[in-house]
Structures are given as structure tokens and as C-alpha cells.
Amino acid sequence: MKARDFLSVRDVSREEIHELFTLARSMKKDPRKYAKSLEFKTLALIFEKPSLRTRTSFDVGIQQLGGFSLYLSPNEISLGKRESIHDVAKNLERMVQGIMIRTFAHQIVIDMANYASIPIINGLTDYSHPCQAMADFLTLLEHKGKLEGLKLTYVGDGNNVAHSLMFAGARLGVNVTVACPPGFEPNLTAFRQAVEDAKATGAKIEVVHDPKEGVKDADAIYTDVWASMGQEGEAEARKKIFRPYQVNTQLMSYAKPDAIFMHCLPAHRGDEVTDEVVDSKQSVVFDEAENRLHAQKAIMHELMK
């Protein structure tokens, strides 16, 4: 892997993503083989937002590779308040060999990567969630046996998860349709970058407003919460706007009969997805969660070895 950090799916080439998937699958099959890969190395986990999957998967992942993790909660560091991002980076690089950050402004992970001499991994910002997209496309590959030419439709808010799915689809030749309410489209720069990247693979990246039209012929239907972390104040108002974008059995019926249902989790059951869909045979949401572990182990291995 050429990149020193993993801030965006755009940091890695198509070939590098496939190499990471191959390594992740090998780690999944035979975890003990890699039990000493990152021996004595420590990954600091900086969280400015809550987490179940990201914390658990990085924590367990680094330990399975022979290393240690250090959890730093929002109250402990207060990035940029108690201490500048620069000084946090300069302190941590003397004691740990990598940093995963989950924060609000995307610029914080970029700044951290610029200041620190050790690898920085983006564990979600308001702008993107690249580790999630890696686990998701690994899951798609496992279930469909291929990626190129598939269609993934993301239904809901044009948010951080939607951006990373567009970037990954563009790199891997997977057509990505985002079906969202008017005014909740993905960031325009992110969309244009994905369209640009997609020229190399022929993937079609599009935004539509009609969910039914969006999911037509989809191999995978993906959704996420309507209000992300940090947008709690908008949650009630968004419920009304997003209601027609709920992924329910009826919406699933417009996709291919063997379409899988995907969600990064946590799910707000009854809002963006019904119990019936999330608990159906088509649902692969817990495979995605498990694959966070394997995909991120591959990423840590490549960056920190």
C-alpha cells in the first residue's frame, strides 16, 4: 500500500483494495497465522463520538495481530480544546505506532495525518467512513462472488457512509445509486470525485430522488440512519421528510429477487428500515459488522507493519 494513512477510500487504488480484501479473507480464515504481525505495537483509539462496532473491531483486531490498543474517550483528549491537534499528534507519535480517530470535522483527521509521523486511520468523520465501506464491499464480494458490474443502491441521507460507498464503488466498478430526498444529496465535491474516479472502471455513480426508481435492478440495497451523530436536533424533522425512503418489504421487492440488504448499523428499526427487512434472510448486516474486524486488520497490517 503506497499511502501512509487511511483517511479515504480514495487513498487506495483498485489493486490495493483487492489486495486488502485478499489479506482480510486470509486473516478471517486463519487468524492465528497473523498473531504476531504487529507484536508490541500500540494503536491509540481517539473517540469524539460513541461507537460499538468501530471500537470493538479495532480493539479486538489489533490484539489479534499481537498488538495493544489504547482507548481515549472524548473527555480525556478534548481535541483542539485542551490541547491542539498538532500537540496531540506530536505526543502520541512518541508512544504509539498508529492512531485511529472518530471525530466530527474531516479536517481534523487530515491535520492529524499532516502533523503525525505515524499512520492515521479515519474511524468516521462527518464526511466519510472509509473502514465501513471496505467491510461493506468485502461483504458484497463474499455474497455475490464478484463486484464488477453489480448495482448497489443507497437509500436515505447523502451522508458520510454514502460518500464512502460512492468512492469504493467508483474504484471497484460497482454502480452506486444514491436515492435521497431533495436537499439531502451527497456532498457535490464527493459526488464529482466519485464520478471522476469511476471513469477508470466504468462504474455508474448517480443520484435520484425516487426510491422505487433507484432500487430497480439493484443487487444490494443499503441504508443508514436518517440523522447522523451530531444531528440529533434534526432527528424529528427528518423523520417526516425521509418516511418515503424507508426500506421495507415493498421497496425490497423492486430490486433483484436475490438482492441483499445492507446497513452499517446502528439501525433505527421502524424508521429507515423495518424489522421484517433487517431480520430477513436477505439481510447481511451482521456479516458487515464482522467484516469490520477482518478488513481493518488488513488495513492496520499494511500501515503499521
Residues that bind ligand CP (CB under 6 A): 51-54, 124, 132, 264-266
Q: Identify the active-site residue in 10, 97, 157, 264.
A: 264
Judged by beta carbon, residue 26 or residue 231, the one nearer ligand CP is: 231
Cα-flanking dihedrals φ and ψ of residue 237, to 5°?
-60, -40
Single-letter amino acid, residue 296: Q
Q: What is the DSSP string of 174-221?
A: -EEEEE--TT-PPPHHHHHHHHHHHTTTT--EEEES-HHHHHTT-SEE
| Site membership for ligand NVA, residue 224 (CB under 6 A) | yes
What is the full DSSP assignment across 8-40? -GGGS-HHHHHHHHHHHHHHHH-GGGGTTTTTT
Closer of 5 and 288 to ligand CP (Cβ):
288
**Interaction of residue 166 with ligand NVA, rule CB under 6 A:** no
The 83-122 site mask, x for binding ligand NVA (CB under 6 A), equals: ----------------------------------------
Please indicate whether residue 264 is annotated as part of the active site.
yes
Residue 121 CB, shortest distance to ligand NVA, in Å, is 15
C-alpha cell belonging to residue 278: 433487517
Alpha helices per DSSP H over the chain:
14-29, 53-64, 74-77, 85-92, 106-115, 130-144, 160-172, 188-198, 211-215, 235-242, 249-252, 275-278, 285-304
For ligand CP, give the closer residue by CB, 124 or 300: 124
Using CB distances below 5 to 8 A depending on partner kind, what does residue 159 bind out of ligand CP, ligand NVA, none?
Answer: ligand NVA
Whether 292 sits among the annotated catalytic residues: the reply is yes
Q: How far is CA 222 from the centre of its chain?
A: 12
Determine the size of the site formed for ligand NVA (CB under 6 A): 9
**Pick 23 or 289: Cβ nearer ligand CP:** 289
Contact positions vs ligand NVA (CB under 6 A): 124, 159-161, 224-225, 228-229, 264
Active-site residue list: 102, 129, 132, 224, 264, 292
